[in-house]
Every structure is written in structure tokens, then in C-alpha cells.
Amino acid sequence: MPTYNHGRWIETALCSIFDQGTTSLEVLVMDSLSTDETPQILERYRDRLTWHRRKDAGQADAINQGLALARGEIVAWLNSDDTYLPGAFARVSAAFSDDASLDFVYGDALEIDETGRILTPNLFTEDCTRERFYFSHDYICQPTLFVRREALARVGALRADLRWFLDYQWLTRFFSAGLKGKRLPHFLAANRDHPQTKTNSGGLRRWWEIMRVLAANPGPFLLARRSLWIYSLEFVIKSINAASWGARPDSADDARKARAWALATLNRRFMRLVSPRSFDDIVRRYHRDIVPAGQTVADLWTRDLAGAKHQ
């Protein structure tokens, strides 16, 4: 778990690991000298984790250090503002046990806000195919990813020079190395969406890094790839949201209506471009398994979907 000044959320993230009921567990926290309440929180859990407090060269460097130190057969990283969902580890362990040839698994995710309120399911997860990953979109939501440690040597470390698209670039090497992956049709983790995330605050620099990573992938001419237009349209949508044009309560009615129309039009176009292949399945299970259990991640743990009522 790489972290820096996420004291507001890190205890939730840690408890989502400890409460999985897994006895054989190693938790490494790579703390880049946090100055908020993070050290006090980590101190309370000192007997259940290994805490490395040192300056790093960025998120990728912290993750690489943690993966190099990890000793478990199955490894993962969880950003300290995200959280696992009930039953995630049991489902992942069962998948690896059932198929010894699997190198990695991933699942579906929820999008939550700063307070843990569930906003929506992530609609873009798909079954594992190289072509869609390279030339459409990143359909693996990182908090849901689990990898056999022995497979890491075949793909190498994350690129420390990347700030925004580091997980996507790393995963492209899973496919080029011939690793076998599988999507689990279960909600395994929640991705926290807030204005301070790198994704929301990256702006033009993030878009440019994405374009460079996409251009490095082998395949058709870049302008002919759907992925270029998907991530460029995403950049436009995020830019409108970041600018808050027409979003303030005191904005003129015309500005609010124009913003709503623009975003609705762009989002429809975005969904047509992506054409997520598991959309109907994800929505069906979300309304069947998540909505009745409550409105927050805490509600899911209270209901304990890992018990008799499976996701």
C-alpha cells in the first residue's frame, strides 16, 4: 500500500484487508513521509503490518519497492484511498486454486466518493483480451488486480518515469509476456473518486502521457486506434468538470443548461466509443447485490456480502 497524507482514508483501506478473514497475510505500507495523521494510524496497527517510512521517487517507485519485498504467493497493491469489498480475497484465492495456469485475476469495481458513498458501478470491466486492452481502453480497474508473485519477474517493474498511466503501461506487458488472466464476475474493490486524485487533477500532462504510452504499443497507426479517441474525449470531459463552468449554484441558467447538454452529449459519445461488453451484466449484479445492501461501503461490510448472500 503506497501512501502519502491519506490519513482520512487509510484506516478504511487497511481494515478492508484485515477484515477479509485471511490468516496468511502480509501487509506492507510504503509511507512517503506522511505529515498528517497517517503515522499515528499506522502505529495503532504496527503488529499487523510492516511499515516502511521513507522518501520515494513517486508512486511507481513505492509500488516497486513493495512488490520487491512481498513474500506472498499472490500479491496486489491497494492505494490508500481505495478499499476492498467483503469476500474479495476468498474469491481471488478460489480462482487461483481452481486454475493453476492463471497468472492474474481482476474483477468489477464500485466508484465511491470521499465519504464512502457508492456512486455507481465501474461499467468498463471486460473479459480478458489483448486487442481490446491495447486498442480500446483499460478495462482492468487496478484495485481489483491480483497477480501471482512468480509472474512478476516476466513483466518487470512499473516504469518510474510515468505518473498517470503507470498501471496501464505495466499491464500491457502482461499481455506481451503472454500471461494468462481472467475476469471474476464479482465486485472486489471500490475506487474512490475525489478532486485530488491524480486522474482528476492531471489535466493536459496526463493526456500527453497517455498519448505517449498508447503510441508505444505495437499496432495500427495511432490516429486509426479507438483508444486515442476514447482517452482524448475523456480528457475533454474531465477538463469541463475541472473548470466547473456552469456548475456553481450561482451560475446563470443558460450556462448550467449548456454545461449539462455538453456533458450529456460527450458522455453518450464516450459510451458509444467504448461500447463496454459487460455493461448489462455489471448493471444487473449491481442492482441485485449492491443496491439492496446499502448506500455506502460501510453498509456492505455491515451486511457482509461475503456470507450467505454472495455478490
111: exposed, middle or buried (Cβ count in 10 Å: 0-12, 13-18, 19+): middle
Strand partners, 120: 111
C-alpha cell at 289: 447485490
Of the chain, the end-to-end C-alpha distance in Å amounts to 25
Domains of the chain: 82-194+278-303 (3.90.550.10)
Cα distances from 297 to residues 27, 55, 68, 82, 306, in angstroms, run 21, 31, 31, 11, 13
Instruction: Render pLDDT for 203-241 as a digit per residue (tens, 0 to 9).
Output: 899 999 999 999 998 888 888 899 999 999 999 998 988
Phi, psi for 306 (deg, rounded to 5):
-80, -5
The per-residue pLDDT string of the chain (311 residues; one tens digit each, 9 = 90 and over) reads 999 999 999 999 999 999 999 889 999 999 999 999 999 999 999 999 999 999 999 999 999 999 999 999 999 999 999 999 999 999 999 999 999 999 999 999 999 999 999 999 999 999 999 999 999 999 999 999 999 999 999 999 999 999 999 999 999 999 999 999 999 999 999 999 876 666 667 789 999 999 999 999 888 888 889 999 999 999 999 898 888 888 888 889 999 999 999 999 999 999 999 999 999 999 999 999 999 999 999 999 998 644 544 44
